[in-house]
């Protein structure tokens, strides 16, 4: 009788264990067999940028699912809307997370990420067509993309890079106090497509103006939504003339282009400029150093960091010119 009682207890325990195991599996797979995942995004290398460069104050994510040969907004994931705001990390505001997303293991997904300084600067209601908000000037922003299918894990991460290019004008000589200068003729856009990682929308050609303070160094700095292409910029220094053309300036998202030269006398006398791409904005295949441009028809060939480092004379095919506009 005692042995029979023990046998019944063992059978009851086995049933309870089986029930617990079944509950655990159901929890892991989520409702209706969906897989719960956690999404995270980091601005740059995951460390908050300097205040002078702007801070990521919001990050939104748009989840797309494969639909035939294309992609459409995912539905039935337990989200109230799509795109949705991600939560910033309380200890590191450069990192954002979103939990509780349920994915169908039988589908493929693409995740689009957009980060900026707030909704007053960009309309991010559609990350394939982000727009500058209310006609404001282009502000700093970051973007990125990730994918998922059933072979992936339960955590999806993305490192975001700058959606904009930063352009800085520096002068090697003091620019007289009150002397106006304009950097113009840039082809810029009023939107960005995160899916394709490029600027889109309407083309705009604003003039970026500044005023001398009697000092040299940084004169002007701004952000621009641009495509990956070389552009010809125009620099106007002083009232009534002093216009020069700067050809083949490499502009692209996630690059910081620095134009450096004698802005005070540009267009009035022969001047030299250097153009460089700062690597602190992240890796870029368009990085260049030692690039000089001058008027009078002279050309200065761009040498890559690798070519300079190994001591040979190998040069790229990229050339820049600077000459007064007639």
Q: How far is CA 307 from CA 72, 198, 269, 289, 315, in A?
A: 45, 29, 32, 10, 7
- Work out the pLDDT band at 125, boundaries 50, 70, 90: very high
Residue with structure tokens 């700093």? 140
pLDDT tens-place string over residues 147-161: 998 888 889 999 999
pLDDT tens-place string over residues 35-62: 899 999 998 754 444 444 678 999 999 9
Strands lying side by side in the sheet with 243-251: 208-211, 180-184, 229-237, 243-251, 322-324
- Work out the pLDDT band at 265, boundaries 50, 70, 90: confident
pLDDT for 68: 84
Distance CA 197, CA 227 (A): 9
Burial pattern 139-159, b for ≥16 Cβ within 10 A else e, equals bbbbbbbbebeeebeeebbbb
pLDDT tens-place string over residues 84-113: 999 998 888 789 999 988 899 999 999 999
pLDDT for 77: 62
Average pLDDT over residues 250-255: 92
User: For the chain, how long is the longest CA-to-CA vector?
Assistant: 112
pLDDT for 280: 66
The residue ranges of every structural domain in the chain are 32-162, 165-324
Residues above pLDDT 90, as percent of the chain: 45
Say whether 165-324 and 32-162 share the same fold: yes
Residue with structure tokens 């368009």? 286
pLDDT for 211: 93
- Pick 141 or 3 by higher pLDDT: 141
| pTM for the full predicted model | 0.75
CATH class of the region 165-324 = mainly beta
Least confident range of 86-100, 121-135, 272-286, 293-307: 293-307
Name the average pLDDT for the chain: 76
- Pick 21 or 126 by higher pLDDT: 126
User: What are residue 73's phi and psi, to 5 degrees?
Assistant: -55, 130
Pairing of strands 35-43, 155-162: parallel
pLDDT for 69: 83
- In three-state form (DSSP H/G/I as H, E/B as E, the rest C), the secondary structure along 169-194 is EEEEEEECCCCEEEEECCCEEEEEEC
Fold designation for 32-162: Immunoglobulin-like (2.60.40)
Structure tokens at 64: 């797309």
- Work out the pLDDT band at 175, boundaries 50, 70, 90: very high
pLDDT for 70: 86
């Amino acid at each position: 009788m005692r042995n029979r009682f023990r046998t019944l207890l063992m059978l009851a325990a086995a049933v309870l264990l089986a029930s617990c195991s079944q509950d655990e599996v159901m929890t892991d797979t989520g409702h209706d067999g969906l897989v719960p995942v956690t999404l995270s995004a980091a601005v740059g290398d995951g460390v908050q940028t300097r205040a002078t460069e702007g801070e990521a104050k919001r990050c939104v994510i748009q989840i797309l699912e494969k639909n035939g040969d294309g992609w459409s907004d995912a539905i039935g994931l337990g989200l109230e809307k799509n795109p949705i705001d991600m939560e910033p990390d309380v200890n590191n505001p450069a990192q954002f997370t979103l939990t509780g997303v349920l994915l169908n293991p039988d589908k493929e997904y693409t995740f689009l990420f957009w980060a900026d300084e707030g909704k007053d600067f960009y309309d991010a209601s559609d990350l394939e067509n982000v727009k500058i908000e209310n006609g404001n000037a282009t502000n700093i922003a970051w973007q990125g993309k990730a994918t998922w299918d059933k072979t992936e894990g339960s955590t999806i991460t993305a490192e975001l890079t700058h959606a904009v290019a930063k352009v800085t004008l520096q002068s090697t000589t003091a620019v007289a106090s009150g002397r106006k200068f304009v950097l113009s003729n840039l082809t810029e856009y009023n939107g960005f497509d995160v899916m394709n990682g490029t600027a889109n929308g309407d083309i705009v050609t604003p003039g970026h103006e500044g005023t001398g303070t009697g000092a040299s160094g940084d004169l002007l700095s701004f952000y621009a939504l641009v495509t990956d292409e070389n552009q010809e910029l125009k620099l106007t220094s002083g009232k009534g003339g002093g216009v020069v053309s700067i050809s083949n300036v490499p502009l692209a998202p996630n690059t910081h282009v620095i134009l450096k030269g004698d802005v005070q006398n540009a267009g009035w006398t022969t001047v030299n400029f250097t153009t460089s791409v700062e690597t602190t904005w992240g890796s870029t295949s368009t990085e260049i150093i030692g690039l000089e441009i001058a008027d009078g028809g002279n050309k200065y060939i761009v040498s890559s960091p690798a070519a300079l480092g190994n001591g040979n004379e190998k040069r790229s095919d990229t050339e820049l010119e600077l000459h007064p506009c007639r």
